[in-house]
Structure 1
Amino acid sequence: MNFAASSVQYRGIIPPMATPLRARDELDVPGLERLIEHMLAGGVHGLFVLGTTGEAPGLSYRLRRELIERTCRQVAGRVPVLVGVTDTSMVEALGLARVSQENGVNALVVAPPYYFPNSQPELTEYIQHLAAELPLPFFLYNMPSHTKTVFDLETVRRAMALPNVIGMKDSSANMVYYHQLVRLLPERRDWTLLMGPEELLAESVLLGGHGGVCGGANLCPQLYVELYEAAVARDLARVAELHARVMHISSTLYRVGRHGSAFIKGLKCALSESGICDDFMTEPFHRFREPERAQVRERLAELGLLREAVRA
């Protein structure tokens, strides 16, 4: 496989798909199918399965395999599918990678193993070992808030020398760091740089990035696709208009809960209230109770998203 040639397809909006659950170890299968079709109808450019928004660390390996299989079967090659295989166990990461390959996944996504802190030499060696053993091209996933580890720029540069490491998703929300990543892009023209926080999507694309992994695109995919397209076209008036709407969603819908889980709870509750999928959550989290659900319904109505999601 020509990894360098394949990486240029990863541009645009690639939502980190929520995982519709009906119980602790049971997928909401009809909800999963509706969610996938809803995002594809909104024009997204790919899907990222088993990311943070998908509550991946809280899912059993059995359910992760089922999710990969069902998603790939439903998507049926219409857009690229990326799968997160981040794990504290190399054996389990490689196992999920093999399942991904068997089901036609296009690329993998790997964050540093969490729990134990990683030094940069150890992280570089880990990436090299992955590059030698993973059966698919893969993205680095920079998420220091969850892993306690940042990919230093020199570590990224060394990873760029490996042909099957094809890009990076940066969820650090550190725009100085992101500027530095953009400055590395001329060293490898086929490298893909994606932004994690949706609030930074517009400026990241205007600065030379290639798209975003936006959680809100589960709910209103067309909004994020249009914002990406406006940024690529450098239509600054349109960018300002659409970015303001994204920020309104971020500052209302994602702020209903009181804890760090508020973003995922708010998003899954909104998907449930829109008739797309169940909002059962991985433990220790639980779905919003009625007072918070009422707030989500109010905010969906104010934003015009309830009607939009149901219609789609």
Structure 2
Amino acid sequence: MTIPAPLTGVVPPVCTPLTPEREVDVPSLIRLVDHLVNGGVHGLFVLGSTSEVAYLTDAQRRLVVETVASHVAGQLPVLAGAIDMTTPRVLSHASAVTAAGADAIVATAPFYTRTHPAEIARHFRLIAARSSVPVFAYDIPVSVHTKLSAELVLELAADGALAGLKDSSGDLGAFRSVVTGARAHPDITGFTLLTGSETVMDSALALGADGAVPGLANVDPAGYVRLYDLCVTGDWERAGAEQERLCALFGMVGAGDPARMGGSSSALGAFKAALHLRGIIDCPATAEPQVPLSGGEVERVGKYLAGAGLL
């Protein structure tokens, strides 16, 4: 389907359910998509960080996109990550996910290699020139070690190389610069601005963001849709209360013991444990070499769900 310009609303970065053998669990993935659609979300983003894209083989990536795109069958736009280190590898992924049914691709700046801002701009322009679908930039400096500047994003948006930005930088001030710059630029129309934050979605929408890509929306899609609707209607008091409820629920990402696992293992493990406890996916396994949550840590996740009225 054609991606709306701008794309608005809640676009969850879809978790990738895995079997105990670490293969893609297709039936669980379909149930998860149904859970999100029934929660009222406005689009789906597969093969992002919350999808464990960095851990999936090329065949697994393609299976995820084919499964989701086929199942939603044009009901919602499907964005797919084409995440890799350099332009040739991103172009290969972009071709694969587009052939598998993605309506747009999402790409980061190059990483591992040391690149100049002019090379990052060239990277996105080359992707856009060879893509048959819109290209969204994914600003996630914690993973790629490069922050996309407001100037670069606005330049690429004005050139038509980028259709939107998913901002996971954690820098609300920088995001504000992009939002205000895009709204004021005479050559930028229909540019999508999405925050990746679970905890300041109301603030980002108040600044002028079009929507959000919160990983926690896998667990509580209806809550994030409710928050979005309250913000759109200007009911900021109730929106603030709903954001606070979701902030409390987001505490589950700290369920894992930092003495034995990284933050990714803890956060993704918590999301998957929550989905398993809610009966949506069959197995809470995360991809290797991430460390699984213990039984006690899973119990902690359950307490967060109960506190939010989800269990």
TM-score, with normalisation over the residues of structure 2?
0.93
Question: What is the aligned partner in structure 2 of residue 271 from structure 1?
Answer: 275
Is 2:61 the counterpart of 1:47? Answer: no
Deviation of residue 121 (structure 1)?
Answer: 1.0
Q: Which moved more, 1:86-95 or 1:136-145?
A: 86-95
Question: What is the aligned partner in structure 1 of residue 289 from structure 2?
Answer: 284
Q: Which moved more, 1:87-96 or 1:209-218?
A: 87-96
Q: Deviations over 1:62-108 (max 9, x none)?
A: 11011111111111111000000011143332232223222332111
**One-letter code of the match for 2:96?**
V
Question: What is the aligned partner in structure 1 of residue 300 from structure 2?
Answer: 295
Q: What is the CA–CA distance in structure 2 between the aligned matches of 1:19 and 1:152, rounded to whole Å?
A: 30
Q: Deviations over 1:177-222 (max 9, x none)?
A: 0110111122212101000111111110111110100111111101
Is 2:56 the counterpart of 1:83? Answer: no
Deviation of residue 7 (structure 1)?
Answer: 4.2
Deviation of residue 227 (structure 1)?
Answer: 0.4
Question: What is the aligned partner in structure 2 of residue 148 from structure 1?
Answer: 145
Secondary structure at the counterpart of residue 301 of structure 2? helix
Query: Does the 8 Å contact 1:97/1:135 carry over to 2?
Result: no
**One-letter code of the match for 1:266?**
A
Secondary structure at the counterpart of residue 194 of structure 1? strand
Q: Which moved more, 1:288-297 or 1:192-201?
A: 288-297
Count of aligned pairs between the two proteins: 302
Question: What is the aligned partner in structure 2 of residue 218 from structure 1?
Answer: 218
Is 2:96 the counterpart of 1:99? Answer: yes
**One-letter code of the match for 2:163?**
I
Q: What is the CA–CA distance in structure 2 between the aligned matches of 1:142 and 1:92, rounded to whole Å?
A: 18
**Contiguous gaps of at least 5 residues in structure 1:** 307-312
Q: What is the CA–CA distance in structure 2 between the aligned matches of 1:132 and 1:210, rounded to whole Å?
A: 25
Equivalent runs, 1:133-144 vs 2, <5 Å: 133-144=130-141
Q: What is the CA–CA distance in structure 2 between the aligned matches of 1:7 and 1:140, rounded to whole Å?
A: 16
Q: What is the CA–CA distance in structure 2 between the aligned matches of 1:101 and 1:51, rounded to whole Å?
A: 15
Question: What is the aligned partner in structure 1 of residue 206 from structure 2?
Answer: 206
Q: What is the CA–CA distance in structure 2 between the aligned matches of 1:217 and 1:83, rounded to whole Å?
A: 17
Equivalent runs, 1:242-261 vs 2, <5 Å: 242-251=242-251, 253-257=252-256, 258=258, 259-261=262-264
Q: What is the CA–CA distance in structure 2 between the aligned matches of 1:143 and 1:173, rounded to whole Å?
A: 8
**One-letter code of the match for 1:47?**
L
Q: Deviations over 1:237-263 (max 9, x none)?
A: 111110111111122x12111231221
**Contiguous gaps of at least 5 residues in structure 2:** none
CA gap 1:89/1:25 in 2 versus in 1, 3 angstroms? farther
Secondary structure at the counterpart of residue 139 of structure 1? strand
Deviation of residue 164 (structure 1)?
Answer: 4.6
Secondary structure at the counterpart of residue 179 of structure 2? helix
Question: What is the aligned partner in structure 2 of residue 309 from structure 1?
Answer: none
Deviation of residue 303 (structure 1)?
Answer: 2.0
Q: Deviations over 1:27-52 (max 9, x none)?
A: 11111111000000000000000000
Deviation of residue 116 (structure 1)?
Answer: 2.1
Question: What is the aligned partner in structure 2 of residue 231 from structure 1?
Answer: 231
Secondary structure at the counterpart of residue 159 of structure 2? coil
Deviation of residue 122 (structure 1)?
Answer: 1.1
Query: Does the 8 Å contact 1:136/1:164 carry over to 2?
Result: no
Q: What is the CA–CA distance in structure 1 between the aligned matches of 2:144 and 2:19, rounded to whole Å?
A: 28
Secondary structure at the counterpart of residue 22 of structure 1? coil
Q: What is the CA–CA distance in structure 2 between the aligned matches of 1:24 and 1:146, rounded to whole Å?
A: 26
RMSD: 1.6
Is 2:309 the counterpart of 1:304? Answer: yes
